[in-house]
A and B are shown apart, each in its own frame.
Chain A
Amino acid sequence: MTAPAATATAALALGDDALVLAQRLGEWAGNAPVLEEDVALTNIALDLLGQARTLLSLVGDEDELAFRREAHQFRNVQLVERPNGDFADTIARQLCFSVYQELLYGALAGGGSELAPLAAKAVREVAYHRDHAEQWTLRLGDGTEESHRRMQRALEELWPCTGELFDPLEGLAVELPALRGAWLERIGAVLARATLALPQGSDRTAWSAGGGRQGVHTEAFGRLLAEMQYLHRAHPGATW
């Protein structure tokens, strides 16, 4: 089933978000602070990969789209392509993104668009991801002095990438700018419980604000794709 053009634009953007974050989380396998986190992070990666496959399949062949596009053809937000950093960086990224996804899929599931069935399934997974991120935000924020400092720093560094999440997205049956208030409220509430401060700086990067959705990405993204795509590209036409 291929979606109409406008929906395809939205499906591609949301699919790329999920694919790229799954790729990042996949890097954690075997490297987590405790075994339970190896399970949890891989589990979340697997959910996101499942979402990506469903969304990309609405647009075309999932493998063609994942492995044969150039960086500038990807439509994911820059937030998801940010390197894992330390555990606090990863959790800050998970918190911001899972709250966003929960709001987005929640709104989408209630509407009548082609993406509603997918959103209805994904919103349950995403609620679990959000809970995981929240629980860790509380533990890192209200844990030790060091964990508090690391979590605060991670949030400050991530913040300039959060504005892009709410730029209007063509073909999406949800008004993204309208979700920003609820998102900020939820993030603010979690951070307050975690004794963390809501970052005060701009939620936009200097020159590439909104870049990801237009195909403008970060340096790290090129390397992510080089690694992800090399084998598929080395064997054109092969099936796996």
Chain B
Amino acid sequence: MTTTATATGTAATAQAATAEDIGTLTAAFDAAVADEVRIEPRDWMPDAYRETLVRQMAQHAHSEIIGMQPEANWITRAPSLRRKAILMAKVQDEAGHGLYLYSATETLGVSRDDLLDKLHAGRQRYSSIFNYPTLTWADVGAIGWLVDGAAITNQVPLCRCSYGPYARAMVRICKEESFHQRQGYELLLALSRGTPEQHAMAQDAVDRWWWPSLMMFGPPDDESAHSAQSTAWRIKRHSNDELRRRFVDICVPQAEILGLTLPDPDLRWNEERGGYDHGPIDWTEFREVLRGNGPCNRERLERRRSAHEKGAWVREAAAAYAAKHSPRREKHRPERPEERHERQEESA
């Protein structure tokens, strides 16, 4: 069910709308959102709602794309063929998730090319987590367990987000992410139960990825700029701190099964609350990473830009070929020599 019934034909009227009309449309929109009605691309929506979604969904898509890099870093060095195959499948899924999310964002009237340009120019962000380096094979497991785990905790509520295309993309993505997370956990388990060197490698990776994973939930609630409005619009359903606590509560027993420790001396069970309290997060580091000063910010963006620039001639070739061989010009029959001649003259 969509809001089409309440806002029929609003695209045309919106252009000439008076302040009064906007007021009526906004009220209908707010009521629809409050009733848990899914907003669809052709429905009227406030400009700020559209902008917030473009920002969040583009950042989400960019994160999938940049997120390929830290893991792809280990494809050629994976220590067994089975692990290599799993990792390749995962990186392939991430590119696919990026494609879903760019498509979903395009329903809001922006283009993928434009979004990529903004990413390359540093004008749109991606998740801070991907600015950390993958230094050992165990990092691939830690990313699966902790980073994908945090992403799932964040994203499962988005499956019920008010914007239909985003919610549907998240349903598909969360299924695959859960699978990756289990594989990452299993990778760490194998290391933890392996040789002393493998166990140490796993512990070191968890030590390095734990805090950055907690930062994935964003700033504390009292400093979160977009939270109140996103909650009212049912884009967001739980606060940053609430999701972070939920994640910690899930991870602590999992770490025990792994036989690995979490690098937080203040981590303890809070009987009153029925959950774990964690130590203070280094928000200075978080802000530095967001500002572009994390360990790999420059490298990640440079790699992305470089792939795009090196690929320019390939994209141009595909476009030139498509222009020459458009279905109108050449449907089900080869080009005749005289046509070919004309075409060459045209392009000359």
Chain A residues proximal to chain B, CB less than 8 Å: 19, 23, 26-27, 29-39, 42-43, 45-46, 49-50, 52-53, 56, 62-63, 66-67, 86-87, 138-140, 142-144, 146-147, 150, 227-228, 230-232, 235, 237-240
- Of all chain A residues, which has the CB nearest B303? A30
Question: Which residues from A are CB-within-8-Å of B198?
Answer: 235, 238
Tell me the complex Cα distance, A239–B193, Å: 10
Q: Assess whether B69 is in contact with A30, with CB atoms less than 8 Å apart.
A: yes
Known pairs A53-B85, A227-B77; A239 contacts B321 (CB<8 A) = no
Known pairs A29-B72, A140-B314, A140-B317; A239 contacts B95 (CB<8 A) = no
Q: Assess whether A38 is in contact with B197, with CB atoms less than 8 Å apart.
A: no
Shortest CB-to-CB span from B202 to chain A, Å, is 12
Tell me the complex Cα distance, A181–B105, Å: 50
Contact of A33 among B80, B95, B303, B307 (CB under 8 A): B307
Tell me the complex Cα distance, A163–B327, Å: 38
Shortest CB-to-CB span from B33 to chain A, Å, is 32
Question: Which residues from B are CB-within-8-Å of A231?
Answer: 77-79, 137
Question: Which residues from B are CB-within-8-Å of A26?
Answer: 72, 75-76, 84, 88
Tell me the complex Cα distance, A231–B201, Å: 12
Known pairs A30-B69, A53-B85, A230-B77; A139 contacts B95 (CB<8 A) = no
Contact of B311 among A34, A49, A227, A238 (CB under 8 A): A34
Q: Assess whether A35 is in contact with B98, with CB atoms less than 8 Å apart.
A: yes
Tell me the complex Cα distance, A147–B312, Å: 10
Q: Assess whether B317 is in contact with A35, with CB atoms less than 8 Å apart.
A: no
Whether, in the assembled complex, B92 has its beta carbon less than 8 Å from a beta carbon of chain A, the answer is yes
Tell me the complex Cα distance, A86–B82, Å: 28
Chain B residues proximal to chain A, CB less than 8 Å: 65, 68-69, 72, 75-85, 88-89, 91-92, 95-96, 98-99, 102, 137, 187, 190-191, 194-195, 197-198, 303, 307-308, 310-321, 324-325
Shortest CB-to-CB span from B105 to chain A, Å, is 13
Tell me the complex Cα distance, A231–B73, Å: 13
Question: Which residues from A are CB-within-8-Å of B78?
Answer: 231
Q: Assess whether A228 is in contact with B88, with CB atoms less than 8 Å apart.
A: no
- 11 sample A-B contacts, Cβ–Cβ < 8 Å, listed by A number: A29-B88, A31-B303, A33-B315, A35-B102, A37-B314, A142-B324, A143-B317, A146-B313, A230-B77, A235-B198, A238-B195
Known pairs A27-B76, A38-B68; A147 contacts B310 (CB<8 A) = no
Question: Which residues from A are CB-within-8-Å of B84?
Answer: 26, 49
Known pairs A87-B311, A144-B317; A49 contacts B88 (CB<8 A) = yes
- Of the candidates A42, A140, A147, A231, the one having the most CB atoms from chain B within 10 angstroms of its own CB is A42
Tell me the complex Cα distance, A240–B82, Å: 9
Known pairs A29-B91, A35-B98, A49-B81; A228 contacts B76 (CB<8 A) = yes
Tell me the complex Cα distance, A232–B313, Å: 38
Q: Assess whether B316 is in contact with A29, with CB atoms less than 8 Å apart.
A: no
- Of the candidates B96, B312, B314, B318, the one having the most CB atoms from chain A within 10 angstroms of its own CB is B314
Q: Assess whether B91 is in contact with A53, with CB atoms less than 8 Å apart.
A: no
Q: Assess whether A144 is in contact with B316, with CB atoms less than 8 Å apart.
A: yes
Q: Assess whether B95 is in contact with A38, with CB atoms less than 8 Å apart.
A: yes
Shortest CB-to-CB span from B243 to chain A, Å, is 28
